[in-house]
Amino acid sequence: MLSTENLRKDLESKSDIEWFDTICAILKKENLLTVNQVIALIGTDKPNPNNEVRGSRALVPFDKRFTWASINPVLTNEEDDKPIDFLSFGGPDFKLKMSDIVARFANYKMQSNIYDGSTQLFFYPIASEYEFSGIDLWTDKEGEAITDINNLLFNSVTFNFGSTLFLARDGYHLKR
């Protein structure tokens, strides 16, 4: 694998779908990536001067097409490193097409977010060659308003890791 700095520059030079393909390749099981390795590739810790409660470790991405990134688990001071549970990226300059994702991962579920609106497209199960086991994409459109699913564009993507699938009010989730 390339050095972290070279890999970071390579990712930044790619189109959005090429970036997606490269991140998927990086997240293959054989690479055994951990939280600290991914953080070195993705971004620096986002300052939290007001000590806001965060469910994930928030990052300021190196790649400027993203305005945010987050990762779980959040490591305590006593923990050296752990496997990834959740990895998410997003920003208005990032665009993935539904048709491109379906061409790579055909199995998905469509679920309404009854908690705060919108629709989740949850790609699951994922081929066993990948460390992640689900991909989360969201549209602000309600399910009945989606007339051509292949024309949907997404400004964020979340990689979920785990084997326990559950459905909550806001959509599908995976846990290790």
Q: How far is residue 40's CA from residue 28's CA, in Å, rounded to a whole number?
A: 17
Three-state DSSP at 136 gives: strand
pTM of the model: 0.92
d(CA 158, CA 95): 13
| Residue whose C-alpha is closest to residue 20's, from 84, 121, 104 | 104
Alpha helices in 43-119 (DSSP H): 98-104
What count of residues does the chain have?
176
- The per-residue pLDDT for range 9-51, each reduced to its tens digit, is 999 999 999 999 999 999 999 998 899 999 999 999 999 878 8
Please report the pLDDT score of residue 2 as a whole number.
54
Report percent pLDDT > 90 for the chain: 76
Sign of the alpha-carbon torsion through 54, 122, 173, 78: negative
Q: Is the omega angle on the peptide bond into residue 73 within 30 degrees of 0, that is, cis?
A: yes
Which pLDDT band holds residue 154 (cuts at 50, 70, 90)? very high
Q: Would you state the pLDDT for residue 123? A: 98
User: Can you tell me the mean pLDDT for 85-114?
Assistant: 96
User: What whole-number distance in Å separates Cα of residue 48 and Cα of residue 42?
Assistant: 18
Question: What phi, psi does 166 have (nearest 5°)?
Answer: -145, 155
